[in-house]
């Protein structure tokens, strides 16, 4: 009986430590699972944007050949050439 009283305090401390360890590991796994789902949703959203952009590119390539491709890309998609500086007129309506 004396031996049981001696180890009962240690058993409580060890069981509390194990419960804390299990709960912290479970919360870590849940957090990682939630982040994984968020990343998968973000990846699918980006893939959808890529598909839409590829469709726009195909559509642009089919319209009026390559001679008007630059004009359409600049007007519809607001694209610019590399190292090109764009000036925006703030007094102009529609900006």
Per the domain annotation, does 40 fall within a domain?
Answer: yes
Question: For the chain (length 95 residues), average pLDDT per consecutive 10?
Answer: 68 91 96 97 96 86 67 80 83 64
- Number of structural domains found in the chain: 1
Per the domain annotation, does 39 fall within a domain?
Answer: yes
What is the domain range of residue 48?
A: 2-76
10/51 Cα distance (integer angstroms) = 61
pLDDT, residue 93, reads 66
- CB contact set of 56 (below 8 Å; sequence gap of 6+): 77
pLDDT, residue 30, reads 97
Residue 82: φ, ψ to 5°? -60, 145
pLDDT, residue 87, reads 81
Per the domain annotation, does 43 fall within a domain?
Answer: yes
pLDDT, residue 74, reads 79
Q: pTM, whole model, 2 decimals?
A: 0.49
Per the domain annotation, does 57 fall within a domain?
Answer: yes
Per the domain annotation, does 89 fall within a domain?
Answer: no
pLDDT, residue 18, reads 96
H helices then E strands: how many in the chain? Answer: 2, 0
């Amino acid at each position: 009986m004396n031996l049981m009283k001696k180890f009962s305090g240690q058993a409580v401390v060890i069981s509390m430590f194990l419960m804390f360890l299990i709960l912290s590991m479970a919360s870590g796994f849940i957090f990682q699972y939630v982040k994984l789902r968020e990343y998968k949703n973000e990846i699918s959203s980006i893939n959808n944007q890529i598909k839409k952009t590829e469709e726009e590119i195909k559509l642009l390539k089919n319209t009026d050949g390559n001679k008007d491709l630059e004009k359409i890309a600049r007007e519809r998609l607001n694209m610019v050439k590399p190292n090109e500086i764009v000036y925006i007129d703030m007094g102009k309506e529609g900006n």
